[in-house]
Structure 1
Amino acid sequence: MKKKTSIVLILLMLSYYVCAKQIDINRFPSPQTVSLTLQPLVSAVPMTYWNDHPKTPKQWHDWVNTIAQFSLARLPELKQKFQVNSQPITLGGVSAFMISPKSITPENKNRILLHFHGGGYVLNPGEAGIDEAIMMAGYGNINVISIDYRMPPNAPFPAAIEDALSAYAALLEQYPASHIGVFGTSTGGGITLALMLKAKTLNLALPAAIVVGTPWTDLTNAGDTYVTNEGIDNVLVSYDGWLGDAAQLYAGKYDLKHPLISPLYGDVRNLPPTLLFTGTRDLFLSNTIRMHLKLKDVGVKADLIVFEGLSHAQYLMTVDAPETQRYFYES
């Protein structure tokens, strides 16, 4: 009897697991507490490429270039809307783009923002990575430099951090640290935090403030919302998709918990004032919350804004949404 009961329990558990996995990849309705502008995006079906698994360097390059076309197609309209120009430049020997608005407010004449794009350390090469920088320049009426850091498979860690450091050190030769701000979303937030850790060890002056949107602070799959928001986040969807592959590709021979790969494991004492953003459906919600608590625990001035209903980085995906405006105006 006990054996029969055990088999029944196992079958029920397996049945529940399969059903749960089916539910996780289904569309969730948008809560009415999300802005009308973003509701269709919040309840949308995930993009099919979330579960792609490129294997060879060529497959990675082809996959990245295909996805980049979506971002590139959006740029002309985005530049027009925000009345900005973008010019390729080199900063500290690193490829970058200078994003300049049509008008700069008087208080921003001698200030500069340094931007790092998102994309799991593999996506958004070249101009495909400047959409957030365009919006920040337009909303903030300030010059923004967006760094086109090197990425795997050709250049795994520490290439991106080396580029970030070279660019930041060169910027310090042109501006006092008090006139510099650094920001980025997702991977861009992770690089921003890693840059602070590295600059601190080199005794470089740190910027006036940093903004990290839904930062990838832990490239392992630790953290509650890697589980609880799996399939609910309709952008990243699951660590078991391309995201986990990208983490391994980026880290290469290094431990995923290396503090310059996963800055959550670094010494964050004396970092500059930090503003963090995430959403209630974000796979990286725990990444962001854990970093916020760690900063607060060591006395860093840190504020956290959690957007209702948003999956990963959706505040960047519809330019006129109230959530989008809040991100840029709060920053």
Structure 2
Amino acid sequence: MSFIAKIAEKILMSTKPAYMDSQEAVDEFLATKKDKPPKSIFKSFDFNGMEVFSFGNKSSSDKTIIFMHGGAYVNEINYQHYLYCYILARKLNAYVLAPVYPLAPKHTYEECFNLITDLYKEYAEDNIILMGDSAGGGFVLSFAQYLNTTDLAQPNNIVVFSPWVDISMANEYDSDSDPILGDVGLRQIGKSWAGDLSTADYRVSPLFGDNANLTKTLIFVGENEIFYNDILRYHENLEKSNVESRLIVGKSLFHIYPLFPIPEARDALKEIKKELM
């Protein structure tokens, strides 16, 4: 773990949201949360009422990335995501789309599935890559499983960072060691995102889904995040289904570490380029 990563971890620990570790705080957060439309200097367009940010030049790119942002299904896309999508577009010669999908608690997985299905259809003829971090990564994996129930083809590649693969949070977790996430808050938020669906349904928790025929998959996980064991189990599920899957573990690192300005993120980007180029 680099010195810069250690500093980042300390900063993250000091700014960890109270609602991640407190039932009272998460109940209040969900009851009072208001949607805040994102502001950005980057271009966007309207797609069926959903704002979609775009990065790169489609005509000169050789691949299209649909990037599903994280934020536990309750937080909007932010500048960390904007900048990372900008980097991806430049370094990978990609046209990157970052949809501003509807969030809990006002919305559930179902609206998001419908919108992303239509967006996916629009670019299905491209060399398409599904990518996402945290909740967005979990959504990508669920969506790939869902594609097997439709007449749509799998993407060319999947790349996910610390995917939230089990929103039921059924296992035991050490929230104290995670500078970003907490199982108490996530468990309640997961119920909100699932709506009337069971939190163990594959459409919200890909850990319990069928991975047959999934495309080549690259997964990043931090060794010190609470999702670590769940992600290991998901990777094992992929291998059992004969999916070509590669798991990269950030030693002593935290949740979605490849998206932070740390030396380890440069190494992660090299692995992505190796996977996709």
TM-score, normalised to structure 2, is 0.87
Instruction: Spell out the pairing of 1:1-331 with structure 2 (5 A cutoff).
Output: 34-44=1-11, 45-51=13-19, 52-55=25-28, 59-61=32-34, 65=36, 86-91=42-47, 94-100=50-56, 109-125=61-77, 129-172=81-124, 175-176=125-126, 179-223=127-171, 226-227=172-173, 229-236=174-181, 238-240=182-184, 242-318=185-261, 321-331=262-272
Counterparts of 1:298 and 1:148 in 2: how far apart (Å)? Answer: 32
> Is the CA contact (8 Å cut-off) linking 2:67 and 2:132 kept in structure 1?
yes
Pair 38,126 (structure 1): closer, same or farther in 2 beyond 3 Å: closer
TM-score, L = length of structure 1: 0.73
CA distance in 2, matches of 1:126, 1:277: 20
Q: Are the aligned partners of 1:93 and 1:167 in contact in 2 as well (CA < 8 Å)?
A: no
Moved more, 36-45 or 306-315: 36-45
How far the C-alpha of 1:122 sits from its partner, in A, is 0.8
Partners of 1:245 and 1:145 in 2: how far apart? 29
Letter in 2 for 1:317: F
How many residues align? The count is: 266
Question: Given the superposition, is the C-alpha separation of residues 126 and 35 from structure 1 closer, same or farther in structure 2, using an over 3 Å criterion?
Answer: closer
* Structure 2 Cα separation of the partners of residues 328 and 128 of structure 1: 15
With over 3 angstroms needed to count, the CA separation of the structure-2 counterparts of 1:94 and 1:48, relative to structure 1, is closer
- CA offsets 1:247-294 (integer angstroms, 9 cap, x no match): 111112211001101011111011000000101101111221111000
Q: 2:47 and 2:250 mapped to 1: Cα distance? A: 34
d(CA) in 1 for partners of 2:32, 2:163:
26
Deviations 1:227-250 (A, max 9, x none): 2x32101111x211x322211111
Could you tell me whether the CA contact under 8 Å between 2:67 and 2:99 is conserved in 1?
yes
Aligned AA (1:234): P
**Helix, strand or coil for the counterpart of 1:231?**
helix
- How far apart are the structure 1 equivalents of 2:227 and 2:61? 35
> Which whole-Å deviations, capped at 9, do the CAs of 1:143-184 have from their partners, x for residues lacking one?
201111111222112112222211111111xx34xx111101
Between the aligned residues of both structures, percent identity stands at 23
Which residues of structure 2 form unaligned runs of 5+? 20-24, 273-277
The 1-side partners of 2:206 and 2:118 are apart by 19
Structure showing greater Rg: 1
**Aligned residue identity for 1:113:** I
The residue number in structure 1 matching 2:275 is: none
CA-CA distance at 1:54 after TM superposition: 4.2
Query: Secondary structure, in 3 states, of the residue corresponding to 1:55?
Result: helix
The change in CA–CA distance for 1:296 and 1:57 in structure 2 (over 3 A counts) is closer
